[in-house]
Amino acid sequence: MGLLSDPNRRRALISLLTRLNAPICALCYFAGVCWFMGLAFEPFTLRTYMSENAMGSTMVEERFPSGERALATGKEFAAHKKKVGGMPVDWLVKTMQARGLEVFTQSFSRTLPFPDENKERYMVKGTNVYGILRAPRAPRTEALVLSAPCSPGDNNNQAVGLLLGLAHYFRSQVFWAKDIIFLVNEHDLIGMQAWLESYHHTNTTGMDWSPLQGRGGSIQAALSLELSSDVITSLDIILEGLNGQLPNLDLANLFYAFCQKIGVLCTIQGRLQRNDWDSVSGYSHAVQTMMLMVMKQASGRPWGDHGLFLRYHIEAATIKGINSFRQYKTDVTTVGRLLEGMFRKLNNLLERLHQSYFFYLMPSLSHFVSIGYYMPAFGLLAVILLLRALDLWVQLVSPPAIAADGVGDNAQQSSPGVLSVLTPLVISHLTGAALYILPTRFQEIAVEHFPVSETEAVVLTVIAVYTAGLALPHNTHRLLSGEGTEQGWRVLKLVAVLYLAVLLGCTALINFSLGFILALTLVPVAAFVTPHMPKTLSAVVLVILSPAFTLLFSVFFFQELEEMPVSFQDGWLLYLSVISQGILDHYLYGSLVYPLIALMVYPCWLLFWNILFWK
């Protein structure tokens, strides 16, 4: 405190920080990247452990015996699905009723803002079927959910069969203290969104759905099941939900504990755990697994039906069966026993899962990185913005230099007008508002005048508005009276740097992965852009570090991590598909990534683009 309270020492500290500003910023950036890459090194991570006492022991005997019967039910479900050309509602209702459940249906419909060409749908109508097993030993105030989506073709038929088999087996047990809801939802995430909105009496997306006729208690946890093969080699757990939300870590720990007990191979991000962490290949494997989680979390989209439960503070995960070329095989009976064990442990909960972490990264299922370990990596990048803001502030408040003839520098003495700073801010955010609003509003006009589909019109409008924003410096200076001053761009950059610091900080608190990826590209731009740099080279660098190119690089990087590299042409088509899916995720499920980029990140980048071309 004495260092800051003493004026002389404070001036000396500020002088040191401004004199060594550039080297300190470069050092912080390098340290932040190295810190993040070191997070996957096993000695720097924590071993997973069960924090919830009610789920601490796996000493329960799982006795589910009906794997073959579940497969037969799945085949019967597939036959009826093929016969009716969709969800066999009547057959499901009769089958659930035969198993002693209270069965209800819910119809829903949704008109997409533009056609989803990946799944070839525009007008979506469907029906959800769910059965409730009432708790025989409790007042029925709490519930658990087991769901299986009714997927097109031959996908996920085994999951529905196993769900019905578990419903029949659970019905014969007397120890359930919570209602168990068995849900088969149509049209994957859209059907799940309709059911959750109706269950909680909310409508945040404008979907049309019929009210639920039957309800259980307050949902404590949920598991979504995806099985498309009679035999599997491993079980993969999917955690990433809407807007980067993650379930309580104890849910993943519970899955891992039962996999270890029953002897099932378990993976995360589709990758098995390796024990050779001290080798280069072992560390590389852990880094790639962690980076896959970072990329998925940064996308903000739900990677399974469980992702929509998280917005209602319901801990949920998706368990996916994988059938690969490994020699190790697991049958459906074993998977049923694993789910039985997990539900029996969740049945013991006296309160919601809350004792373990909600913010974490996982390089493997046995180790995790908590928020206290990964936030310093972001903090080292964020401190660069504060150091640059301090340097700009010192330059603004310092007296102008006196020339040899005793006359001060007029350029330094002239203070910037409010208009010279306010105009770029307003135009940048108006451009961002156009990027957010125009693509879905002008698609019909674009289809009428150009030979493109609705989806292509939306994506091309996004690219057109984004590119038109590069003309911002010319439009800005036409509105200004006179030339910009030397102090003017410093004031504008000070505002932009502080704006970016607050924006990235808030983003990282909600979705660390998204905030860190944006910081990697935007912090160098904010730190070193000035009007005195070579215009052509600097413009190319700024465009490469812009949000659009960050997304393009992320698409290719994600494909490399998935070990499915693509050519530039295929990658470009995938890039356009990612843009359209991001907009659809926003309008259908409430994903915040698209409005965040359009309304805040892109306008902030435009401010630095304006500074580069400041006159």
Q: Is the pLDDT of residue 481 over 70?
A: no
Kindly report the number of other CB atoms within 10 A of residue 60's CB atom: 14
Q: Could you tell me if 500 and 604 are in contact, meaning their C-beta atoms sit under 8 angstroms apart? A: yes
Kindly report the number of other CB atoms within 10 A of residue 399's CB atom: 8
Q: Is the pLDDT of residue 117 over 90?
A: no
Q: Is the pLDDT of residue 433 over 90?
A: yes
Beta carbons within 8 Å of 290's beta carbon, 6+ residues apart:
39, 40, 361, 362, 363, 369
Strand order in 367-370's β-sheet? 46-47, 367-370, 360-364
Instruction: Give the pLDDT of residue 414.
Output: 55
Q: Is the pLDDT of residue 387 over 60?
A: yes
Mean pLDDT, the chain, rounded, equals 87
Q: Could you tell me if 598 and 460 are in contact, meaning their C-beta atoms sit under 8 angstroms apart? A: no
- Closest residue by Cα to residue 574 from 548, 547, 555, 601: 555
Cβ density class 417-440: b for 16+ within 10 Å, e for less: beebbebbbebbbebbebbbebbb
What gap in Å lies between CA 169 and CA 180, rounded to an integer? 12
Instruction: Give the pLDDT of residue 411.
Output: 46
Q: What letter does residue 399 receive in the DSSP assignment?
A: P
Q: Could you tell me if 348 and 26 are in contact, meaning their C-beta atoms sit under 8 angstroms apart? A: no
pLDDT in tens, 566-599: 889 999 999 999 999 999 999 999 999 999 999 9
Q: How confident is the model at residue 408 (pLDDT cuts 50, 70, 90)?
A: low
Instruction: Give the pLDDT of residue 173.
Output: 87
Give me the domains of the chain, ranges plus CATH numbers: 11-40+373-399+417-613 (no CATH), 63-365 (3.40.630.10)
What gap in Å lies between CA 368 and CA 561, rounded to an integer? 19
Kindly report the number of other CB atoms within 10 A of residue 141's CB atom: 12
Q: Could you tell me if 470 and 559 are in contact, meaning their C-beta atoms sit under 8 angstroms apart? A: no
Question: How distant is the alpha carbon of residue 394 from its chain centre?
Answer: 39
What gap in Å lies between CA 238 and CA 240, rounded to an integer? 6
Q: Is the pLDDT of residue 480 over 60?
A: no
Strand order in 102-116's β-sheet? 208-209, 102-116, 121-133, 179-186, 142-150, 218-226, 315-322, 234-238, 266-268
Share of the chain above pLDDT 70, in %: 92
User: Is 0.85 surpassed by the pTM of this model?
Assistant: yes
pLDDT in tens, 321-348: 988 877 788 889 999 999 999 999 999 8
What gap in Å lies between CA 2 and CA 582, rounded to an integer? 51
Q: Is the pLDDT of residue 428 over 50?
A: yes
Q: Is the pLDDT of residue 260 over 60?
A: yes
Distances (CA, A) of 573 to 246, 399, 566, 579, 593: 29, 54, 10, 10, 20
Please report how many Cα atoms fall inside a 13 Å half-sphere around the Cα of residue 597, on the Cβ side: 23
Q: Regarding beta strands 266-268 and 234-238, do their DSSP bridges make them parallel or antiparallel, or are they unpaired?
A: parallel
pLDDT in tens, 147-172: 999 988 888 899 999 999 999 999 98
Q: Is the pLDDT of residue 135 over 80?
A: yes
Q: What is the mean pLDDT of residues 509-517?
A: 94
Q: What Rg value do the Cα atoms of the chain yield, rounded?
A: 28
Q: What is the mean pLDDT of residues 293-316?
A: 94
Distances (CA, A) of 322 to 25, 233, 319: 45, 6, 10
Q: 234-238, 396-400, 445-449 — which one is most confidently predicted on average?
A: 234-238
pLDDT in tens, 19-58: 777 888 899 999 999 999 999 888 888 888 888 877 766 6
Kindly report the number of other CB atoms within 10 A of residue 603's CB atom: 26
Q: Could you tell me if 37 and 287 are in contact, meaning their C-beta atoms sit under 8 angstroms apart? A: yes
Q: What is the mean pLDDT of residues 520-545?
A: 90
